Structure 1
Amino acid sequence: MTANDMSLYTGQPSGPVGKQIAGYRVEQVLGRGGMAVVYRAKDLRLDRTVALKLIAPERARDDTFRRRFTHESRVAAAIDHPHIVPIFEAGETDGVLYIAMRYVSGLDLRALLDRDGPLPVATALRIAAQVASALDAAHEHDLVHRDVKPGNILVAAGTDSDHPEHVYLTDFGLTKKSLSLSGFTTAGEFVGTLDYMAPEQISGRPVDGRCDLYSLACVVYETLAGCPPFERDEDVALLWAHQYDQPPPLTDRRPGLAPAAADVMAKALAKVPEDRYDSCLEFVAALRVATGQHAPAPSSKDPRPRRISANLWPPPEPPAWARPVFRGPPGGP
């Protein structure tokens, strides 16, 4: 890796702005983590703004990680869902692994909570429902996110007063096929964030979608209470708490909620996956009922494309310039 490539990853002042990688011109650092850095960048081929994620050089040199990166990027890109950040491209150039995704203008939930503190119940549940929908869609593809946390939930402006936020779940780079996987990588490192990590991840047991449900419940708890369910001074104590301690009832930290809300949260945070809800949307629906919140009425602006009636016959003719690529059925004209 060249010095310039390294400055792209590290974001040093010598810096990334204006440099190009794989057809993208870097414009601004958006965020940085243990194994990646994300930039706002310009796609020079299509003249659009994207979020460009570059993987740490030491990861790129790991053949196992490279294979996993390629596979998981393809699977994540195949999920077409309104609350999952679309992946435009994933690849490698000059020894640098990268993913180009839709750029979402707005705050992540971590920044929103840091700025505003606990959210109104209705806002917290609107955000939760959209994340739950994204997670259930991933689980239908036999994928587990395994790092659901406020920093991976992007909150953009919504379409109208009934839908004031549009939420995206991002960072599917840690997803894997759900069977036979634990919370550890092959190098023995944790996959996930300790404040939101399910007991089965910590103990190294196989995980499925109920692992994400637990993490989502931790996030929702924080949006309502202002802090995660478990707070400890040491990482080891936090790991122990997720596995063995009972969280403080939600109603103790958010007075005014009905006792039923604490019961719903306790079930979603059950230590044993089988004791939790069967899906993320089921959890959010139960919490809506318990808090007296109702799902917003459908918007008058239907975002779905209108379908052409199947009874229209004969079908419209293609334009003259397109006719050479159309062919009739075998044996036909």
Structure 2
Amino acid sequence: MTGREDQAGGEWRGAEGARIAEYLLQDEIGRGEMSVVYRAEDLRLGRTVAVKLLAPELARNDTFRQRLVHESRVAAALDHPHIVPVFEVGETEGMLYIAMRYVQGRDLATLLARDGPLSLEIACRIALQVASALDAAHAHDLVHRDVKPGNILIAEGTDNDRPEHAYLTDFGLTTKSLSLTDLTGVGQFVGTLEYAAPEQISGRPVDGRCDVYSLACVVFEMLTGAPPFRREDDMALLWAHQYDPPPVLTELRPDLPPAVDPVFARALAKTPDDRYETCQGFVAALRAAGRTGQPPPPKPSAVPRSRPPRQADTTPDGSAESTPPGPPFDDDDEW
């Protein structure tokens, strides 16, 4: 890294004008606890990109570095209109960086801080785009595990029917469900407490339903201005996600139909098996409840995909009787 630099408290300050690999940093456009994002010029291709610099202590963590490179490669292979493309992940002079598409817009956290709670129509419109990105990732066994307003970018849309275009970012900082044990280590927490699913907190295996829970927390915040669980300290917040029932949405938004309450109750269920199977299934149920005012049907009991032959299924003459097929598998969670 060349140019003015001052490492203090795990942050780089005064990096505007510095060069990271083949990127010339310009102005700062975002900051988190463990990273800073700059608009930058790609000196090789002459294009504007976003470069995320990760805290120096992360670069010294071999497990994190391995996971970052692995997941960024998987995420880069996801060609989806609502996922921010990753161009490069690298390390230079002890600094980890991620170069990605520059999105002209603001993150959802900034939008909510400026505009306050959104209408159900707008919240569902944004959530459906994020949900489609998450479901596409889940199809590749990639679980985001850190779905939050700060990781959702809102750009200008293309037409009146979709005035916003939502992008999901930070897939490079996620964990692949099939390699969770190998790449994160025992007891290491990945996620943001306000949006973390109970199984994340307890260290149990996760799959796409973990992101269903987090997305429900985000949509709850879009509608009320705050995530469902708020406590004075982290331990109380961890406890609430695992054991406290979620608040009733319509007690905070009485203008919405009561039919939306069971949708959130299911999406925020403590046990993954009790949630929607897909993120789009959750958003579709929420939108339908808002439009019709009718609560969704309860989740049916699981139907076994196979069963042993029934010994008593014979005709009076002793010949085998074919067993009629059972009811079709439930797919009400699909969009």
> Could you state the TM-score of these two structures normalised by the residue count of structure 2?
0.82
Amino acid corresponding to residue 209 of structure 1 in structure 2: G
| C-alpha contact 1:7 1:16 (8 A) present in aligned 2 | no
CA-to-aligned-CA distance 1:239-271 (integer Å, 9 cap, x gap): 111111111111111112111101111100000
Question: After superposition, what is the alpha-carbon deviation per residue over 1:197-232, rounded to whole angstroms, capped at 9, x for unaligned?
Answer: 100011110100000000000000111122111111
Map residues 213-228 of structure 1 onto 2, 5 A cutoff.
Answer: 213-228=212-227
1:7 to 1:46, Cα distance in 2 relative to 1, 3 A: farther
Contact 2:3 2:17 in 1 (8 A): no
- Could you tell me whether the CA contact under 8 Å between 2:5 and 2:12 is conserved in 1? no
The equivalent residue for 2:52 is 53
Q: Is the 8 A contact 1:26 1:42 kept in 2?
A: yes
Structure 1 residue ranges (4+ consecutive) displaced by more than 6 angstroms after TM superposition: none
Which residue does 2:134 correspond to in 1?
135
Alignment of 1:254-265 (within 5 A): 254-265=253-264
Distance in structure 2 (CA, Å) of the matches to 1:272 and 1:168: 28
- Residue 181 of structure 1: aligned partner: 180
**Secondary structure in 1 aligned to 2:96?**
strand
8 A contact 1:54–1:96 mirrored in 2: yes
Q: Does 1:95 align with 2:99?
A: no
Q: Give the C-alpha shift of residue 191 in structure 1.
A: 1.1
Q: Alpha-carbon deviations, 1:35-64, whole Å to 9, x = none?
A: 222111111111111110112222212222
SS state at 2:37 partner: strand
User: Cα RMSD (Å) of the superposition?
Assistant: 2.0
Query: In structure 1, what is the equivalent of residue 232 of structure 2?
Result: 233
Segments of structure 2 that go 5 or more residues without pairing to the other structure are 293-335
Contact 2:2 2:18 in 1 (8 A): no
Between the aligned partners of 2:223 and 2:54, the Cα distance in structure 1 is 34
**1:5–1:96 contact (8 Å) kept in structure 2:** no
- Mapped pair 1:115 → 2:114: yes
Partner Cα distance (1:25, 1:2) in 2: 10
- Contact 2:3/2:15 (CA < 8 Å) preserved in 1? no
Equivalent residue number for residue 78 of structure 1:
77
Offset of 1:110 from its aligned partner? 0.3
Q: Are the counterparts in 1 of residues 2 and 19 from structure 2 also a CA contact under 8 Å?
A: no
With over 3 angstroms needed to count, the CA separation of the structure-2 counterparts of 1:6 and 1:71, relative to structure 1, is farther
SS state at 1:46 partner: coil
The answer for the alignment partner of 1:156 in structure 2 is 155
Q: Which range is displaced more, 172-181 or 148-157? A: 172-181
Aligned residues: 290
Counterpart-to-counterpart distance in 2, 1:164 and 1:134: 18
Residue 188 of structure 1 deviates from its aligned partner by 4.0
Mapped to 2, the partners of 1:268 and 1:172 lie a distance apart of 22
User: What secondary structure does 2:163 align onto?
Assistant: strand
Distance 1:30 1:95 in 2: 22
Note the alpha carbon deviations across 1:162-186, whole angstroms, 9 max, x for none: 110000000112222213637x943
Q: Would you say the 8 A contact 1:179–1:207 is kept in 2? A: no
Q: Is residue 2:21 matched to residue 1:40?
A: no
Q: Which residue of 2 aligns with 1:10?
A: 11
Which range moved further: 141-150 or 91-100?
A: 91-100
Shift of 1:287: 0.5
Distance 1:138 1:5, change over 3 A: farther
Structure 1 residue 23 displacement after superposition = 1.0
Q: Which residue of 2 aligns with 1:62?
A: 61
Shift of 1:94: 2.2
Flag structure 1 segments of 5+ consecutive residues without an equivalent.
Answer: 294-333
2:284 counterpart SS class: helix
